Structure 1
C-alpha cells in the first residue's frame, strides 16, 4: 500500500508513463488519407497558433505571407518566434518538445537538420513513431463528409485500414450552412430541398445514418458559436431536433458539441483568425433534460464557462465533458480546470484531448498534458493520504486509465 508522498509520486509517474491514451478529438488521419495527414517540421511551424503569434511581431501583409511556399513560411516563423526572441508561449514550447522527443538536437537551432530527418522518413514510419512517443494507441479523427476530397476517400473503400484511427462524423456545414450543404446531399442522391421541406428531414436522417455506418463513426460532432441555442424556430434548430438527435439515438452514437468559437473575426488570418465568446449553458441543460436517451459530449471554449459546465455535468449522467479545447490549452488554465473538475466531478470526466492538426502535435500535447494532469492528481492523492487513507498501485492505475481512455469508451458503450 502507498502511504507516503514520495512513493506516491514514483508510482503515479510510472502509471502516467505506461497508460495508453485514447485521444477523443483530433484532426489527424491514417496514411491511406494521403496528403490530408499533415506531418513534418514545416507543418509544425506553420500551425495556425504560431501563425497568429508570428503576426504579433510582423507587419507583413497577411496575403503576402500565405502566398509563400510552406518552407518559406516556416523559415519566417522560426526566425521571428524562436531566434529573434525566446519561444516561451505554449505553442512555441510545444514545437521544441516535438524536436526533443524525436531525438533531434534542439540546441543546434538548425531547421536544415530537422528537415533532413524527415527526408528519411515515410508517412507510415512517422505515424508509428509518433504514436509510440506520445503514448497514444488510438485517436478519433474529424471526418467531414462535406469535404469532397475526404468523401472520395471513404467512397473508395479506404478509411479503415489502420484500426488505431476511429471516425467521427463532422457536420458543421449541415448546421451552419444548409443553403450550400444541401446541394452536396442532393448530389449524393438524397431528396432534399433548399427550404428543408417535404421529405428533406427524412432524407437528411438517411444521409447521416448511411455515413455513420460507412465510417463506423463513434459520434457526430459540430463546432458552434457562443449564441447556439435550440429554443428558436431556426433551420439549424430543426435539423438538430428532427435529424441529428433522432439519428444519434437510433445509431447509439453520441452528439459532440464544441461551443464557443467565433469564426474569422479577422478573416485575412484564415484559420488563425478565429476567436471565442462566452456561451449560455442553458442549451446544454435543455438538451440533456429533454433528450435523456441521447448522449452528449461537450467542451466549451471560454474559460468563463468551465465551472458552470462542470456543475451541469453533476446533474446529468447523459453528459460527458471533455478536454481543455483550443485557447484553453495553456498550462495555467489546464491546471485550474482539471483541479476544479476533480474537486467537482471526481474522476467522471475526460480531462484532455489533443485537437492535433499536425501528426507531431500528439507528442507535445500529451507530453505536456500528462505532466499537468499528473501534478493535479498527485496533489489530490496527497490530500487523501493526509486523512489516513491508503492507496494501491492498482487503484492508481485504474484511475489513470479511466481518465485517459476508459471514461470515453464507457460513456459511448463501445
Structure 2
C-alpha cells in the first residue's frame, strides 16, 4: 500500500504468493486506483484456494480484477489451468448471480458475457488504458462496474420514504439506491 501511495502515477500488477494474503490484497486493490489484482501464483491456484480467494475478490472488487492468469511453465499445465479456471469461474458466477436474482435483479446474457469478458482480461486491458491522476490514490475509476459490488447489494436497504415508489428487494429499488450511492463521494478529496 505504501508503494502505491508513494507512486500514484505508476501502475502495479499484484498477485499473491500465499492464499492468506488474498483479503489484504483485495482491500488494497479496492483502495488504490493504480493497482490491479492479477491471477494467482502457482501454489495459490489450487481449486479450493482459488475458489476462496476469487470469492473474496468478487465481493470486494466486483469484476475489476483478472480472474485467471497463467504462471504455467509448460503448455500442458496451461491447458489444464485454463479448463479448471473456467469451471471455477462458472460456479462462482452462478452463485453470485443467484444472490442477485434472489434480491430482484434480472440477469441477461449480455450481463454474463460482459462480466466473463471483464474477468478474463477486459479488466486488465481497462487498467492498462486508465490514466492516473496525481493525488487520486483512493478508489476505483468511475467506470468501475457496480453490478458486482456485493457490499453495495448487501447495503441496499431502501429507506422508508422510498418504499412506496421502490419496494424493497426489487431491481428498481436496488438500482435507485445504487445510483444514490454513486452520486455521493465515498471518501474525502
TM-score calculated relative to the size of structure 2: 0.66
State the partner residue of 1:371: 87
Q: For residue 407 of structure 1, report the CA deviation from its aligned partner.
A: 0.9
State the partner residue of 2:35: 319
Q: The residue matched to 2:52 in structure 1 has which SS? A: helix
Bigger proportion of residues as strand: 1
RMSD: 1.2
Q: Is 1:359 aligned to 2:44, yes or no?
A: no
2:112 to 396, 400, 403: 396
What are the superposed Cα offsets for residues 21-46 of structure 1, whole Å, 9 maximum, x if unpaired? xxxxxxxxxxxxxxxxxxxxxxxxxx
Q: The residue matched to 2:36 in structure 1 has which SS? A: strand
**Alpha-carbon distance in 2 for matches of 1:382, 1:292:** 37
**Correspondence 1:183-202 to 2 at 5 A:** none
Q: The residue matched to 2:55 in structure 1 has which SS? A: helix
What are the superposed Cα offsets for residues 154-187 of structure 1, whole Å, 9 maximum, x if unpaired? xxxxxxxxxxxxxxxxxxxxxxxxxxxxxxxxxx
**Correspondence 1:140-159 to 2 at 5 A:** none
**Alpha-carbon distance in 2 for matches of 1:387, 1:413:** 34
Contact 2:16 2:44 in 1 (8 A): no
Q: For residue 313 of structure 1, report the CA deviation from its aligned partner.
A: 0.8
**Alpha-carbon distance in 2 for matches of 1:389, 1:312:** 29
Q: The residue matched to 1:344 in structure 2 has which SS? A: helix
Q: The residue matched to 1:297 in structure 2 has which SS? A: strand
Q: For residue 413 of structure 1, report the CA deviation from its aligned partner.
A: 1.7
What are the superposed Cα offsets for residues 226-275 of structure 1, whole Å, 9 maximum, x if unpaired? xxxxxxxxxxxxxxxxxxxxxxxxxxxxxxxxxxxxxxxxxxxxxxxxxx
Q: Is 1:381 aligned to 2:97, yes or no?
A: yes
**Correspondence 1:237-252 to 2 at 5 A:** none
Q: For residue 374 of structure 1, report the CA deviation from its aligned partner.
A: 1.2
Give unpaired runs (5+ residues) of structure 2: 131-189
**Alpha-carbon distance in 1 for matches of 2:19, 2:121:** 24
1:347 to 40, 51, 63: 63
What are the superposed Cα offsets for residues 327-379 of structure 1, whole Å, 9 maximum, x if unpaired? 11111001000111101111111112121111222210100001011101110
Runs of 4 or more above 2 Å deviation: none
Q: Is 1:412 aligned to 2:128, yes or no?
A: yes
**Correspondence 1:286-325 to 2 at 5 A:** 286-325=2-41
**Alpha-carbon distance in 2 for matches of 1:395, 1:340:** 20
**Correspondence 1:40-79 to 2 at 5 A:** none
Q: For residue 403 of structure 1, report the CA deviation from its aligned partner.
A: 0.5
**Alpha-carbon distance in 2 for matches of 1:372, 1:351:** 10
**Alpha-carbon distance in 2 for matches of 1:317, 1:376:** 25
Q: The residue matched to 2:13 in structure 1 has which SS? A: strand
Bigger-Rg structure (1/2): 1
**Alpha-carbon distance in 1 for matches of 2:80, 2:96:** 25
Give unpaired runs (5+ residues) of structure 1: 1-284
